[in-house]
């Protein structure tokens, strides 16, 4: 969720997305956040964001919700999941919520729920972190020295 990210976010994401091989191309879909302005309703904003996220998921994709209440994974587990994704051949949609997290509809639609950290992370930083971790998992699979 979110558009018009600071330059460092776009550059950080692009740094790692650009390193990924063709068969694991990252496709970032930036969606407009719900209205949280004066008089805005955060619960309604999260619901609108959830609808937008689910509409953006490719048909038949494996859906993974990045959620603080999800299962904690480490890099090795991510590499294992990536191996499965490569064998499965389906698109994978990693859902990153807005400032108030993911709507319940997204959590219910998810095949899996993962927690990146017990810390509360800003949603714009999560996209950089996820891109780096996907690249790191790829290097672990391929034996590249980046992951050491």
5-40 pLDDT, tens digit per residue, is 889 999 999 999 999 999 899 999 988 888 777 877
Nearest to 2 by CA among 28, 38, 37, 40: 28
Least confident span in 37-41, 61-65, 96-100, 102-106: 37-41
SS3 7: helix
Q: Distance of alpha carbon 82 from its chain centroid, rounded?
A: 14
Q: Which domains does the chain have, with CATH numbers?
A: 7-142 (3.40.1280.10)
Binding-site residue ranges: 66, 97, 116-121
Binding-site residue ranges for S-adenosyl-L-methionine: 66, 97, 116-121
SS3 62: strand
pTM: 0.89
CB burial readout 99-112, b (16+ within 10 A) else e? bbbbbeebbebbeb
């Amino acid at each position: 969720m979110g558009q018009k990210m600071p330059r460092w976010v776009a550059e950080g994401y692009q740094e790692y997305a650009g390193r990924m091989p063709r068969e694991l191309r990252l496709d970032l879909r930036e969606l407009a956040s719900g209205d949280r302005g004066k008089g805005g309703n955060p619960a309604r904003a999260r619901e609108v964001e959830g609808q937008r996220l689910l509409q953006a998921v490719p048909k038949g994709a494996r859906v993974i919700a990045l959620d603080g209440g999800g299962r904690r994974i480490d890099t090795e587990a991510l590499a294992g999941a990536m191996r499965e994704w490569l064998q499965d051949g389906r698109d994978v949609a990693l859902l990153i919520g807005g400032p108030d997290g993911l709507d319940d509809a997204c959590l219910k639609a998810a095949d899996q729920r993962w927690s990146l950290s017990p810390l509360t992370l800003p949603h714009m930083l999560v996209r950089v972190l996820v891109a780096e971790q996907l690249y790191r998992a790829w290097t672990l699979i391929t034996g590249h020295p980046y992951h050491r």
